[in-house]
């Protein structure tokens, strides 16, 4: 029999309701536990809904007819984090007109970007980097060109990087890593990113390009999606999804010692302009003027001789180690 997994889901604020669900699953009881999880989440979120019991009944119907996921491993991520898509699905069952739900990722010519979802024609979301997070730096005249992504939703802490912040006009506005989110008036359809790099302060929002994966070293940091190159052109991206990441012993915190020919053999994990630090992932500036991702302050690299996800050929090189979270 397989070893049971522990799944812990915690939300700190659902209009004053605190939940902390500890689930143990095995091959024999996943389905029942998933239904319990969905029901528990629906009950908690129903407290936020203006139509209360009716919303909860609708969610329960979606669970029964299969509209929501039925496999616990597809909705609980590594460490038991509740998948934001699942929360969005439950919220979608309860949504009333005017509510804008959690931003979600979509394709564009410059890689994955966050969008306002179908209710906003999947238009790209931007942040203004000319200012501090958790503050509004776009005034009324600015908002004529950069409409804010507002919402009636008041449940904070929906997903680790997303939150809502109260505005002076009584509305709430979505934030990403603390930065208020905006649309660009020059974008009309899904996939357009015409506002990216305007005035060198407006940038698209993106999923972080680092996640965890399995290699012969166990759980390892790997690339998620595509990466920008040393030319910093967002259109020139490398398809290296799943490739193993490495640390260099010669580096210091937020400082890379791998330059010139070293950076050819060990390509740095360059960060797109506008990328922001969050939790254990950070962005720092290299000596060559490019931004690079780091984990716990240690710069991250690829190895040129790794060709497929799971390859760890760089692990035998002196001074280099597989990046393990």
For residue 153 the two structure tokens come to 């939703």
* pLDDT of 119: 86
For residue 250 the two structure tokens come to 């010669």
Q: How many other C-beta atoms lie within 10 A of the C-beta of residue 39?
A: 14
**6, containing H or E segment:** strand 5-14
User: In the chain, where does DSSP find H-type helix?
Assistant: 30-46, 52-65, 72-75, 84-94, 140-145, 261-265
CA-wise closest residue to 111 among 306, 221, 270 = 270
* pLDDT of 131: 85
Give the pTM. 0.70
- The C-alpha atoms of residue 146 and residue 11 are separated, in whole angstroms, by 31
* 3-class state of residue 150 by DSSP: strand
- The C-alpha atoms of residue 197 and residue 274 are separated, in whole angstroms, by 8
| Tens-level pLDDT at each residue, the chain (325 residues) | 333 333 333 333 333 322 333 333 333 344 444 444 444 444 444 444 444 444 445 444 544 545 444 444 444 444 444 444 444 444 433 333 356 678 889 999 999 999 998 889 999 999 999 988 999 999 999 999 999 999 887 665 556 789 999 998 888 999 999 999 999 999 999 999 999 999 999 999 999 999 999 999 999 999 999 999 999 999 999 999 999 999 999 999 999 999 999 999 999 999 999 999 999 999 999 999 999 999 999 999 999 999 999 999 999 999 999 999 9
Residue spans of the domains in the chain: they are: 5-94, 104-204, 210-322
CA-wise closest residue to 154 among 16, 308, 271 = 16
* pLDDT of 303: 98
* pLDDT of 93: 36
Question: Please, which residues have CB within 8 angstroms of residue 255's CB and are 6 or more apart in sequence?
Answer: 284, 299
């Amino acid at each position: 029999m397989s070893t049971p997994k522990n799944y812990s889901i915690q939300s700190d604020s659902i209009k004053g309701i605190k939940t902390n669900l500890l689930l143990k699953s095995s091959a024999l009881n996943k389905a029942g536990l998933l239904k319990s999880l969905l029901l528990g989440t629906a009950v908690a979120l129903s407290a936020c809904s203006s139509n209360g019991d009716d919303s909860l009944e609708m969610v329960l119907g979606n669970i029964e007819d299969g509209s929501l996921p039925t496999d616990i491993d597809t909705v609980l991520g590594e460490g038991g984090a509740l998948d934001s898509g699942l929360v969005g699905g439950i919220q979608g069952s309860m949504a009333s007109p005017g509510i804008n739900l959690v931003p979600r990722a979509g394709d564009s010519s410059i890689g994955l970007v966050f969008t306002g979802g179908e209710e906003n024609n999947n238009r790209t979301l931007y942040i203004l980097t000319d200012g501090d997070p958790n503050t509004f730096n776009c005034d009324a005249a600015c908002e004529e060109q950069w409409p804010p992504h507002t919402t009636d939703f008041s449940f904070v802490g929906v997903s680790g990087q997303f939150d809502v912040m109260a505005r002076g006009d009584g509305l709430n506005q979505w934030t990403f890593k603390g930065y208020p989110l905006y649309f660009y008036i020059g974008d009309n359809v899904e996939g357009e990113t015409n506002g990216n790099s305007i005035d060198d302060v407006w940038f698209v929002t993106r999923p972080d390009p680092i996640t965890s994966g399995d290699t012969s070293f166990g759980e390892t940091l790997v690339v998620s999606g595509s990466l920008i190159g040393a030319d910093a052109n967002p259109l020139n991206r490398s398809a290296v999804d799943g490739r193993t990441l490495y640390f260099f012993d010669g580096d210091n915190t937020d400082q890379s010692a791998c330059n010139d020919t070293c950076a050819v053999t060990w390509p740095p994990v360059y960060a797109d302009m506008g990328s922001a630090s969050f939790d254990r992932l950070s962005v720092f500036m290299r000596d060559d003027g490019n931004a690079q991702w780091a984990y716990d302050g240690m710069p991250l690299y690829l190895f040129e001789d790794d060709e497929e996800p799971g390859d760890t050929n760089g692990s035998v090189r002196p001074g280099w180690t597989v990046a393990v979270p």
